[in-house]
Each structure stands twice: as structure tokens, then as C-alpha cells.
Amino acid sequence: MSRSGLAYAVSAYLLWGVLPLYFLALAPTGAFEIVAWRILLSLVFCALLLTVTRTWRSLAALLRDRRVVFTMGLAGVLIFVNWQAYVYATLSDQVVEAALGYFINPIVTVFLGVLVLRERLNPTQWVAVGISLTAVVVLAVGYGRMPWIALVLAFSFGFYGLIKKRVGPKVDAVSGLTLETAWLAPVAAVQLIVVATTSGLTLGANGAWHAVLLLLAGAVTAVPLLLFAAASRRLPLIHMGFIQYFAPFIQFLVGVFVLHEPMPPERWVGFGLVWLALIVLTFDLVRGARSARREVVDLV
């Protein structure tokens, strides 16, 4: 266990957990304008980091690999969908449903392993998937509709993680985010033009403090990603698996106890089933890690 790795991981997920409060502090800025500034300012922030760390050469090397460039373009589309859905959920008083999306994300990741990578699930993993599907049905009944925001967040981030896994260590966190936001920059520019010609841009129109908060969108986006990348290099996967639940748990607390979003009994039942599925999945992860450790000891 690396103490610095643990500190990096907890810091990353803590920042992601309180992200809804940051977006709410940007009122009256709407979701489209927030995401557009988030993309453009993240690109600027990454360019500054590349300059300070003198790593433009590593980015230039990646640009010569067409496969990596287009793969990061696809990753950019997925993270754009994820960001747009998340900010919309926050600004429309649906933080609890957004938290649900990140709670079921590990289950979706396992499910995508079967559909895309043709992986085989063991019986314990199938139980976890079955419980989570039941939870979605219960929550759909509770909401009176399918929890679309949660599903969009879970699947977009699940596919995003799948793509990032395929590029592997070839693409570092800063270069990856630079490529993703570079692909999205034209889309962000169009969004700002549309907002400017309709409701009007809020940057500079709501006081200095609001402008400063909005200009911090690049750092707010990039810093947790960099902390996460630093933690991933220092902590075993099993520890990262445990800590990843920090963010949705904090978001859930923010939605229920700070923003006072409604939680009728059927939603508690649905969330309880999701948490049960995560306990089952975590049990399987721990058991798998112990078995792998025993095999290594036996070989030695």
C-alpha cells in the first residue's frame, strides 16, 4: 500500500464527489455553456501542463499514430456525452440519479467485458449482474420511467474506460485529455456560438467571482484526472476498485442531504439492490486477488 497513492486516489474521488456543488455554484450558466467552457479550458490547461513539464514531444509522437489519434477521438465523443449528461443531471436536480450511474458503472464494465471482449463471467459475477438488472427495474418503477441519465452515464463511462484500457500505458493522462479535448474543441465552439446567439453567454456578465469560477473549469476537470492517473500507478487494482465508490457515495449524500432530492421507499430499495450487487462484485474481486496471490506464492 502506497500512502501517496492512497492520498492521490482519495483526493481524486473526493473532488469528483463534490463536483455537483461546483456546477451549481455556476448558476445561471446552463449545461451547454458549462460543458463547452469545460472542454476549451481543459485544452488550455493541458497545453500549459505540457509546456511546464516539457512533454510536447510525447504528444507529437502520439500524433504520428493515426490509430491512437482516432481512438482518442472516439473517447472524446464518449466523455462529451458523459459530461453533458452529468451537468444536465446536476442542474435539473437529479444528482441522486447521476450518483446511481456511477454506482452501477462497475457492473456495466463487467457486462461490457462479456459483450465486447467476449470474457466469461463466473457465477458470482452473474449474480451481481442479475441483482443490478433487478435494481434498474425497481428504480424504473420508482421513477415512473427508465433511469436514463444513470444508464447514459454508466454506459458512456464504461465504454470510455474500455477504450482507455485498449490504448493502455501508451497514452498518459495529460496527452490523452489533450487529444480528447482537441477533437471536441470545434463542437464546444459551436455550442458557445449557439448559446451566445440565443440566451447569451454568462461569462463576464455575472460578476468577477462567477467569472473566476467558470474559468477554473479546465483545472477542475484536469486535476482529478491527473490525481487518478498518479494513484493508478501506485496502488493495486483491488484498492482502486474499493476507492472508486467514494465519488458516487459523496454525490448521493450531496443529492439527498444537501439538495434534499426526494428518496421514496422504492428508490431506497433500488439503491439497496445496487449496493448489494457491488458487495457481491467486491467479494469476487477480493477472492480473485487472494487466489492470484496464492498462485504466485506457490510458484515461488
- Angle at 251 (CA atoms; ends 240, 80), nearest 5 degrees: 80
Closest CA to 42 of 196, 179, 205: 179
Which residues have CB under 8 Å from 130's CB, separation 6+?
none
Q: What is the pLDDT of residue 292?
A: 59
Scored b (16 or more CB within 10 A) or e, 46-71 reads bbebbeeeeeeeebeebeeeeebeeb
Work out the number of other CB atoms within 10 angstroms of the CB of residue 247: 22
- Burial label for 200, CB within 10 Å (0-12, 13-18, 19+), is exposed
pTM of the model: 0.87
Query: Would you give per-residue pLDDT tens digits along the chain (300 residues)?
Result: 577 888 888 898 899 999 999 999 999 999 999 999 999 999 999 999 999 988 899 899 999 999 999 999 999 999 999 999 999 999 999 999 999 998 888 888 777 777 777 777 788 878 888 888 898 888 888 878 888 999 999 999 888 888 877 776 788 888 888 999 999 999 999 999 999 999 899 998 889 999 999 999 999 988 988 888 778 777 765 666 677 788 899 999 999 999 999 988 988 999 999 899 888 878 877 777 666 566 555 555
Q: What is the pLDDT of residue 38?
A: 94
Q: What is the pLDDT of residue 132?
A: 84
Quote the distance between the C-alpha of residue 102 and its chain's center: 7
Q: What is the pLDDT of residue 277?
A: 86
* Rg (the chain; Cα; Å): 20
Identify the residue whose cell numbers are 451481481: 128
Helix (H/G/I), strand (E/B), else coil: 18: coil
